Amino acid sequence: MAKDVKCEVNSCNYWGAGNLCNASSIYVVNRSKEHHASTSAETDCKTFEPKI
């Protein structure tokens, strides 16, 4: 498992210093109807939680 997950979405609650994700787990889903993504644009991070 990755130790350092990078994220540049500074509006996310889990965004941390050095563009590190501070979430305890990461959930990424497939946007493709065939369930086989071939590019990052075909995926979404469901871990995202907006900062309040």
Domains in the chain, number: 1
Q: How far apart are CA 33 and CA 3, in angstroms?
A: 30
Residues linked to residue 12 through DSSP beta bridges, in sequence order: 50
Closest CA to 18 of 27, 1, 6, 32: 6
- 24-52 per-position pLDDT tens digit: 999 999 987 777 898 999 999 999 999 98
- pLDDT score for 29: 94
- Please give the C-alpha separations between residue 34 and each of 11, 15, 18, 30, 45, in angstroms, as whole numbers: 30, 31, 35, 9, 18
Could you list the residue range(s) of the whole structural domain that residue 50 is in? 1-52
Residues linked to residue 29 through DSSP beta bridges, in sequence order: 44
- pLDDT score for 32: 79
Which tokens hold the place of 40?
A: 């990052």
